[in-house]
């Protein structure tokens, strides 16, 4: 059986930066707080906890004056305000590509535009982006966007600014762009899909076309990883998503001559 490993597999720039910042802070301070999962990978989180980084789910669990690491997905404006009120020292590991989207929606609103955000409504990155503006609209995909655009109260002349979650697929994005260009007359469109994600998704699509089976390595809670598995399933009938090698069964590979391996942005190289 031949095994093809995706060139893009493993940590992306933003996740690597966040993990390094968390490691460095934990070593320097002896203790610090990770607000939410710094990345969607239980193994990495455990290693950081061993260095003295305590994970909390909510800002209410932060003690006054503690050092708090903001994860790569970013946080809401309200969380920054609460941390400031607590006198916390903030180590901001928000990925610069996500920070850019925060700025874009803020600036759009200052110009009188309605920010239109495409992404998974409940995903922390999208919740964070939506919090940096007051009148942002969030749609999960082209169907929702089209329904809203067709409402009688949605004026075709409404000035809008279109952005997306960094991990959105190019396919969904292109459909949304088409709708905006068709239904609105005053728009600004910013392609905010992370290029690392786009490359990873394209590579996974290509590999799943030529391989008989695909193994996607990563945490199922990661949007990046679950979208990769979704893309692979569009082209290949045999796809498995695992968090570690021990979850693989020999039966899965029976009769398979070529297997491809890809991994989400939160998967450390040693797991792959």
The site for ligand F3S (CB under 6 A) is made up of 12-15, 72, 95, 97-98, 166, 194, 196-197, 224, 265
Are the CB atoms for 233 and 185 separated by under 8 Å? no
Are the CB atoms for 162 and 118 separated by under 8 Å? yes
CB of 100 to ligand F3S, least distance (A): 9
Q: How many CB atoms lie within 10 A of CB 152?
A: 5
Nearer to ligand F3S, 98 or 229 (CB): 98
Are the CB atoms for 89 and 125 separated by under 8 Å? no
Q: Which of 75, 125, 198, 203 is catalytic?
A: 125
Nearer to ligand F3S, 114 or 166 (CB): 166
Nearer to ligand F3S, 149 or 172 (CB): 172
Nearer to ligand F3S, 13 or 252 (CB): 13
CB of 108 to ligand F3S, least distance (A): 19
Are the CB atoms for 235 and 205 separated by under 8 Å? yes
Nearer to ligand F3S, 48 or 179 (CB): 48
- Closest residue to ligand F3S in the complex (CB): 14
126-131 LR contacts (CB < 8 Å, sep 24+): 126/165, 127/76, 128/73, 128/74, 128/75, 128/76, 128/98, 128/102, 129/74, 129/98, 129/101, 129/102, 129/105, 129/163, 129/165, 130/105, 131/76, 131/77, 131/78
CB of 91 to ligand F3S, least distance (A): 16
Are the CB atoms for 193 and 173 separated by under 8 Å? yes
How far is 201 from 148, CA to CA, in rounded Å?
28
Is there a catalytic annotation at residue 125?
Answer: yes
Are the CB atoms for 265 and 14 separated by under 8 Å? yes
Q: Which two tokens stand for residue 191?
A: 């392609």
CB of 21 to ligand F3S, least distance (A): 12
CB of 182 to ligand F3S, least distance (A): 28
Q: Which residue has the tokens 């075709």?
A: 156
Enumerate the active-site residues: 125
């Amino acid at each position: 059986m031949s095994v093809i490993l995706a060139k893009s597999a493993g940590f992306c720039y933003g996740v690597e930066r966040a993990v390094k910042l968390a490691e460095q802070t934990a070593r320097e301070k002896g203790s610090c707080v990770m607000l939410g999962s710094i990345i969607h990978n239980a193994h990495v989180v455990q290693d950081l906890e061993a260095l003295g980084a305590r994970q909390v789910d909510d800002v209410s669990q932060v003690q006054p004056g503690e050092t708090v690491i903001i994860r790569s997905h970013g946080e809401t404006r309200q969380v920054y305000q609460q941390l400031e009120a607590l006198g916390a020292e903030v180590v901001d590991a928000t990925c610069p590509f996500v920070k850019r989207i925060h700025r874009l929606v803020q600036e759009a609103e200052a110009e009188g535009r309605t920010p239109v955000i495409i992404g998974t409504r409940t995903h922390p990155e999208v919740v964070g982006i939506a919090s940096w503006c007051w009148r942002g609209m969030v749609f999960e995909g082209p169907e929702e966007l089209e329904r809203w655009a067709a409402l009688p109260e949605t004026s075709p002349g409404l000035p809008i600014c279109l952005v997306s979650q960094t991990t959105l697929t190019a396919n969904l994005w292109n459909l949304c762009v088409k709708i905006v260009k068709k239904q609105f007359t005053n728009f600004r469109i910013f392609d905010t899909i992370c290029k690392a994600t786009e490359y990873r998704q394209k590579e996974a699509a290509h590999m799943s076309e030529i391989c008989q089976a695909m193994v996607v390595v990563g945490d199922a809670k990661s949007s990046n990883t679950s979208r990769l598995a979704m893309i692979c399933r569009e082209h290949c009938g045999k796809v498995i998503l695992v968090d570690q090698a021990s979850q693989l069964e020999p039966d899965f590979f029976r009769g398979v001559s070529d297997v491809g391996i890809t991994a989400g942005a939160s998967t450390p190289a040693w797991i792959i």
